[in-house]
Structure 1
């Protein structure tokens, strides 16, 4: 079966928005299960995820199988019209596996063992772990592959474990042999002439363990690549088992939002359904923008509808102070996910635990029970998603702007020995996305080597390390009539973290009109640089422009007085600092307008977000005070069934899903 023939999210949704969450019946007596299904039906739940952390219950001792309880739950779900996303339980091996097979336990960069007693305590390179994981997956797939409740497979959970142990070291050497072929090629790629690091034997090559001083950046970069690939091998092994038994059932595993440890583009290629876990802080004034960024990225990885695998119905348990969601925010953020392409809205978890490390992490049913505010709000959300599901599912989002993001560039730039340790890639990415989000400009994310011909505007917040193909892609985009805006440090290094001659790739310097990049002048925390009518933070650069380039904003005062802060050559713009939020928003809105990109809605009150999904217009109010929004003609609100002419009023955390 080719990738094009594989099932997808539509095969699981069947015209509905999937609504539900992780269900852990093994934590509760059987009489509670029947109460659960009653409440699930009352809340409109049509999907639950089972078995994520149940390995020790399914296999209490080596080779034993206790499936009876899961048989009962699967049958109970089917009898009540609830589909099952069945998980392989391999994210949390039972204690006996680590006790009997210490080689399955990962080691950190200091060589210390990460013991059982938590979760994700497995070495991705351990042959023993992989053998036992395959065995339990094989038996699950054989037993439940034909069960009528099964709608999707969920492999493992939040893959994130790095391992610096001996078995991982051997696997790392095999990975490097496949990548480089010879030690000479490895030594060139890693720049081992520096600090006498030249390798004369593959056996001497180690993971990026703790050294006396700074690590070799290229070694760290390759170790991150290897770790992502090693975890992907674990996923693929289990995926292939369940696919062999059930080629008609889609398969997923859940990403963490903007997570450093996985090459999300590479992983998404191997998933039938791309899913993510999303937990914005309800106290963060920019939480909605963070959610929008993660949703846009996930939709772009999926190249269409995607699955919100986990969110919190209330507080989480892992922040220093864990705040509940104010009234209405759970509904608003769920609708935001749907607006930005989600066809599944799910939670961790269904019923809040009474024991264990996450007993204060909220559930769809909290400790207050069915009379609690959380469950009452869940019922409203379930009802509304059922109402709009047939009108929404499968619909696409059209974007004229692509924001480029690459995990390899992030990995290369997230190391020591750089001009400033205060330049954080996600912070820069958020700043640029925020500027576009606040201007109601719809954005996709794209890999820097992806075909960009369908976008009027390409935005590069920061790509520290770029392949030659990526550089050529940006040049081709501008020469083909597109517009490009890039931020500082873009194109500094190649894929081996080797600084390009001139401090930036020559093709990019020519594209942006940079004659010489003399020096980088990073800024201290709290320091800013005056540039034109705005101030920049984090960074500044001493640039000498080409004769035919235009200085759109110049530094004022200090060592860089009069030099370009914002430089343009034709349709290619370069920002050598990070403008303050209002200035960055105004600049990107201006460039977008010049490129022929228009906002979803021209004029909106502050804190109102507008997203168009197909012909449907979502209005999302992130404020507490009522606002009135002017409408583009008569609109029918799918949430309320009302028709509005010219304007609509949105209350506290209000939302509307409008159809002409």
Structure 2
């Protein structure tokens, strides 16, 4: 189901609210909650996430009366509901009647009841019970006036991403049969001639449980693929019920930002809209950069459509070793940052702070002290500001730069027994994203095979696993005039994690014009220098003995055993160019990106002082510049003429931004020139 009017739900404007857990409170509290929600401008709450035991107290016992009263109360006050299927935490009666539902670790330990997400994803007992509950909710509430959004499960994979029980083993074998059809193909893909690992019967195959030494890497890679698919099968089973009976109400499940365990490209294809739970750390001075990366990924998962921030903390969380709170200014700034990067809603965990349970110290829109808390003013104030930005809903960001992100390659890169265990995809990607963010260059993420003709530059911080199809995809982009920058340790292995014939960079060799003679990881604490023009850059973690075949050398090692050898190359190919970075430069890669962006005509959204983040959302009749000051001092920002929506004041030429301040400037829609690749 896809809305055609640009809105995430039937609710107009931007969405505001959070998780509401009324089962934790006497019903007389509900009236007060709803009254305060109205005061705060809340228009959407998530209900039912952990209500399974209350909704279904026994195998054949249901209690919907309290839920009926709750939804009627919310609907009567004009507050929409994001209705969860309540399947994230099976009740005690289910796991006691069927203890095989509980998940088993790689070491053979069966995890117990008493937390959440205590289920085996492959368990038919769990799946049947979950689907039964989803159907009961769908049939009862599919046309309820409060219903604005369906919310399947909650944070799939947060606690249990894999189970090693016999049921999972059987499901894994079924998955392998579908993938390989016969054992000959599986043995070839897994390279089982190594270490006498050949399989003569499907029943001989087990999950990669704890073993005496390194486990077959292709088996582990397929296990990662299977585990993502097993959880996705749970989601699909519930969503199928909602699709059958829900009418035109969209369906989502909340993602967890750039999360390794689940291939979100595959998952997003199953969503009507993408929603995300994001918890940047207030103690991290660079947290807003990582948050921006995650938000750009969420926007990209559905091809640039608006997305929904399903959860964030109003202040501190309860699960870090030290839970530093947000200042009220930071909470406001970070909330507006999500809208700046394409969110059409800002929801929180949670509405009312819990008195009991593992999250009783987690912050809430309504703190333990209630409306007497200074935080309550921030809750009301944010609601009012989001209401002023209602017209932004449905507008989109336009990016000139894309980052290639492939979950298969991520999983394969971080397998064991590599030349270095220090190359981690999230960190590699962040180090390339940060310079683009600092330069206010908007970035999309793309999966292999996605259309690229609208992008001036494509960045691939790492593509360890490269198939022939992926190589053709990138080659065709460059041949048409695109600019590609490819990072180290790329083009190493195929889809089975077999080293490409001829070595790295495999099928990217002609495109990049280089050959890697030997990997040369850098020891912890060491570094080496790279001379690039008149700049000396610092490489850590990784370097490569590189030979330039057709490429031009634009950076060479200036110290260490590889002195004088190529470190950075550029290869003209067709109408475009491809750069290869054979070392890890950290944020020094920004020096190279400056040259690439200039070559491709990539410009910032707006030239602003350091520390100010700028994005532009374009609508049919206007554009909206979001200006976010992450610095500790007030600053003047040169801007085009327009109207600042948060205050309603006209702006001419310069805008004063206080420290941790934000502004949203409405301007006339620009006539964006066509990219060279769009002509």
Short-chain TM bin: over 0.9
Question: Does residue 631 of structure 2 align to residue 627 of structure 1?
Answer: no
1:572 counterpart (556, 571, 578): 578
Tell me if the contact between 2:265 and 2:301 (Cα under 8 Å) persists in the aligned partners.
yes
Summarize deviations over 1:355-379 as a string: whole Å, max 9, x none. 0011111111112211223221111
Equivalent residue for 2:597? 592
Tell me if the contact between 2:142 and 2:247 (Cα under 8 Å) persists in the aligned partners.
no
Whole-angstrom distance in 1 between the partners of 2:373 and 2:213: 54
Instruction: Please give the secondary structure, in 2, of the residue aligned with 1:501.
Output: coil
Summarize deviations over 1:262-288 as a string: whole Å, max 9, x none. 110000001001111000001111100
Tell me if the contact between 2:8 and 2:273 (Cα under 8 Å) persists in the aligned partners.
no
Matches within 5 A, 1:398-547: 398-514=398-514, 516-532=515-531, 533-546=536-549
Whole-angstrom distance in 2 between the partners of 1:121 and 1:518: 48
Q: Across the two proteins, how many residue pairs are aligned to each other? A: 651
Shift of 1:490: 1.3
2:655 counterpart (625, 630, 648): 648
Whole-angstrom distance in 2 between the partners of 1:256 and 1:465: 24
Shift of 1:477: 0.7
Instruction: Please give the secondary structure, in 1, of the residue aligned with 2:350.
Output: coil
Question: Does residue 358 of structure 2 align to residue 357 of structure 1?
Answer: yes
Matches within 5 A, 1:91-490: 91-160=88-157, 161=160, 162-303=162-303, 304-389=305-390, 391-490=391-490
Shift of 1:180: 0.1
Shift of 1:8: 8.6
Question: Does residue 633 of structure 2 align to residue 618 of structure 1?
Answer: no
Whole-angstrom distance in 2 between the partners of 1:621 and 1:531: 33
Tell me if the contact between 1:9 and 1:306 (Cα under 8 Å) persists in the aligned partners.
no
Question: Does residue 25 of structure 2 align to residue 28 of structure 1?
Answer: yes
Whole-angstrom distance in 2 between the partners of 1:606 and 1:13: 39
Equivalent residue for 1:658? 665
Tell me if the contact between 2:280 and 2:287 (Cα under 8 Å) persists in the aligned partners.
yes
Whole-angstrom distance in 1 between the partners of 2:302 and 2:371: 35
Whole-angstrom distance in 2 between the partners of 1:159 and 1:200: 35
Tell me if the contact between 1:438 and 1:585 (Cα under 8 Å) persists in the aligned partners.
no
Whole-angstrom distance in 2 between the partners of 1:628 and 1:181: 64
Whole-angstrom distance in 2 between the partners of 1:49 and 1:628: 39
Instruction: Please give the secondary structure, in 1, of the residue aligned with 2:170.
Output: helix
Instruction: Please give the secondary structure, in 2, of the residue aligned with 1:12.
Output: coil
Shift of 1:456: 1.0
Shift of 1:247: 2.8
Shift of 1:381: 0.9
Instruction: Please give the secondary structure, in 1, of the residue aligned with 2:437.
Output: helix
Question: Does residue 610 of structure 2 align to residue 606 of structure 1?
Answer: yes
Tell me if the contact between 2:491 and 2:506 (Cα under 8 Å) persists in the aligned partners.
no
Tell me if the contact between 1:8 and 1:272 (Cα under 8 Å) persists in the aligned partners.
no
Instruction: Please give the secondary structure, in 2, of the residue aligned with 1:502.
Output: coil
Equivalent residue for 1:557? 559
Summarize deviations over 1:242-275 as a string: whole Å, max 9, x none. 1211131100001111111111000000100111
Shift of 1:11: 5.3
Instruction: Please give the secondary structure, in 2, of the residue aligned with 1:503.
Output: coil
Instruction: Please give the secondary structure, in 1, of the residue aligned with 2:258.
Output: coil
Question: Does residue 68 of structure 2 align to residue 84 of structure 1?
Answer: no
Whole-angstrom distance in 2 between the partners of 1:154 and 1:187: 41
Whole-angstrom distance in 2 between the partners of 1:493 and 1:622: 41
Tell me if the contact between 1:48 and 1:85 (Cα under 8 Å) persists in the aligned partners.
yes
Shift of 1:502: 2.8
Whole-angstrom distance in 1 between the partners of 2:231 and 2:469: 26
Whole-angstrom distance in 2 between the partners of 1:537 and 1:83: 51
Shift of 1:468: 1.3
Equivalent residue for 1:638? 645
Tell me if the contact between 2:492 and 2:506 (Cα under 8 Å) persists in the aligned partners.
no
Whole-angstrom distance in 1 between the partners of 2:507 and 2:140: 57
Tell me if the contact between 2:493 and 2:506 (Cα under 8 Å) persists in the aligned partners.
no
Summarize deviations over 1:573-629 as a string: whole Å, max 9, x none. 000112242x32222122012111111012x22210010111111100112211111
TM-score between both structures, scaled by the size of structure 2: 0.94
Tell me if the contact between 1:401 and 1:442 (Cα under 8 Å) persists in the aligned partners.
yes
Tell me if the contact between 1:9 and 1:273 (Cα under 8 Å) persists in the aligned partners.
no
Summarize deviations over 1:294-351 as a string: whole Å, max 9, x none. 0000000022100101000010111110000023111111111101110111001101
Summarize deviations over 1:17-39 as a string: whole Å, max 9, x none. 11000000000111111111111
Shift of 1:7: 7.5
Whole-angstrom distance in 2 between the partners of 1:445 and 1:492: 22
Instruction: Please give the secondary structure, in 2, of the residue aligned with 1:324.
Output: coil
Whole-angstrom distance in 2 between the partners of 1:216 and 1:109: 15
Shift of 1:14: 3.9
Whole-angstrom distance in 2 between the partners of 1:8 and 1:351: 33
Provide runs of 4+ in structure 1 moved above 4 Å: 6-9
Structure 2 CA distance for partners of 1:192 and 1:419, relative to 1, 3 Å:
same
TM-score between both structures, scaled by the size of structure 1: 0.97
Shift of 1:47: 0.2
Tell me if the contact between 1:485 and 1:573 (Cα under 8 Å) persists in the aligned partners.
yes
Question: Does residue 51 of structure 2 align to residue 43 of structure 1?
Answer: no
Tell me if the contact between 2:72 and 2:146 (Cα under 8 Å) persists in the aligned partners.
yes
Instruction: Please give the secondary structure, in 2, of the residue aligned with 1:328.
Output: helix
Whole-angstrom distance in 2 between the partners of 1:641 and 1:91: 43
Tell me if the contact between 2:141 and 2:147 (Cα under 8 Å) persists in the aligned partners.
yes
Whole-angstrom distance in 1 between the partners of 2:551 and 2:135: 62
Structure 2 CA distance for partners of 1:649 and 1:155, relative to 1, 3 Å:
same
Whole-angstrom distance in 2 between the partners of 1:193 and 1:354: 58
Shift of 1:559: 1.0
